[in-house]
Amino acid sequence: MIGPTWLVDDLLRVEELLLRTAGSSRHPVVAEAASHLMKAGGKRLRPALVLLASHSGEPGREATDLAAAAVELIHLASLYHDDVMDGTDTRRGVPTVHAKWGTDVAVLAGDYLFAQGCLLGARAGGEVPAILSLGLARVCEGQIAENQALGAAGRSVGQYVETIELKTAALFAAACEMGACTAGAEPERRRALRDYGMALGLVFQVIDDLLDLVGDPDIIGKPPGTDLKEGVFTLPVLLGCKRDPGLRALLERGERRLEVVLPRLRECGAIDAAFAFADERADAARARLDGLGSEDWVVALRTVVSGVLAQADRDRPGAS
């Protein structure tokens, strides 16, 4: 991620806190399983959002670092449980906890990371525990909603958006809001940053969903069409079903092959339309920053939006 140089130092400090927290158990297996995915890397996008947003007030407070680490622990915990549910064997190029220690340890180590995240949130104090646990509750609601919508080719775009707002964007919004509130930012700046986080989260998930269909498997690190195969019908597919009733009928009869579905999505313009949707939300995210000035941290938050979009630039229709 490109950002102000101070961000690198801030993230290193949070990284130390993350490793110390996840590895704090006296039980070697707990410490090892809880640190496993963290040590395999990751972009630390959510902590970066907390740290950047804290410049809307008085940055550098301990509570901000604690909130930044807390939101990443909650995110990692949800990945542990995702891997249990999906039976995923590798993530970030290493075996998942689920694959290495089995289902029980993966469920419990996820729970342990939730607890440690909440504990850091408690140490941060103020409104952080409430914002964090509300964020986590929304992630779970969104995942259950997605689970219930498996195979539903008639789901509306509104329902899709509501689901990913809960599943993904709520934690981005929480990250930005915690950055602002731990720094004592004014209510209006805090609201703007929360809305920015929500819009950014939508862009992030739409791009992720697009990459699952059109991305380079070597870059996205998983076989393309995974969502489709599991019956998770994301924005491009839902837009396709509206435009091409024949495609919807195929999906409802159980068609899940990417080589059948993708050409029809391209043909009817659904891929283009999904990219246009992401661009529109990206504009909305940037627009929420307009009243916040032009300091380096605001520029960096704009760059985060472009960076999320850029992940799929080479896969846009017409890109060379």
Q: Which spans of this chain sit near a copy of itself (rule: CB under 8 A)?
A: 25-27, 29-30, 33, 78, 81, 84-85, 103-105, 107-112, 114-116, 118-119, 121-123, 129-130, 132-134, 136-137, 139-141, 143-145, 147-148
Question: d(Cα 309, Cα 262) in Å, to the nearest integer?
Answer: 20
Q: Whole-number minimum distance, CB 30 to a copy of itself, in Å?
A: 5
Listing DSSP states for 75-100 in one string gives HHHHHHHHHHHHT--EETTEE-HHHH
Closest CA to 297 of 9, 26, 28, 56: 56
* Rg from Cα positions in the chain: 20
Q: Output the smallest distance, CB 142 to a copy of itself, in A.
A: 9
150 vs 171: CA distance, rounded Å: 23
Closer residue to a copy of itself (CB): 31 or 157: 31
Least Å distance, CB 109 to a copy of itself, is: 7
Residue 25 Cβ vs a copy of itself, minimum distance, rounded to whole Å: 6
Closest approach of a copy of itself to the CB of residue 126, in Å? 10
Nearer to a copy of itself, 54 or 116 (CB): 116
Residue 232 or residue 292: which is nearer to a copy of itself going by CB?
232
Helix (H, G, I), strand (E, B) or coil at 168: helix
Pairwise CA distance, residues 193 & 204, whole Å: 16
Shortest Å, Cβ 269 to a copy of itself: 31
Quote the least distance from Cβ 148 to a copy of itself, whole Å.
5
Q: Which of 147, 216, 137, 144 is nearest to 170 (CA)?
A: 137
Contacts of 211 (CB under 8 A, 6+ apart): 220, 311, 312, 315
In the complex with a copy of itself, the residue whose CB is nearer, 78 or 96, is 78
- The angle at the Cα of 19, spanning 101 to 121, to the nearest 5 degrees, equals 105
Nearer to a copy of itself, 58 or 111 (CB): 111
The two tokens of residue 32 are 């090892």
Residue 86, CA distances (Å) to 95, 226, 239, 277 in order: 14, 11, 25, 28
Q: Which residue has the tokens 């964090």?
A: 132
Nearer to a copy of itself, 134 or 284 (CB): 134
**Is 168 or 270 the residue whose CB approaches a copy of itself more closely?**
168
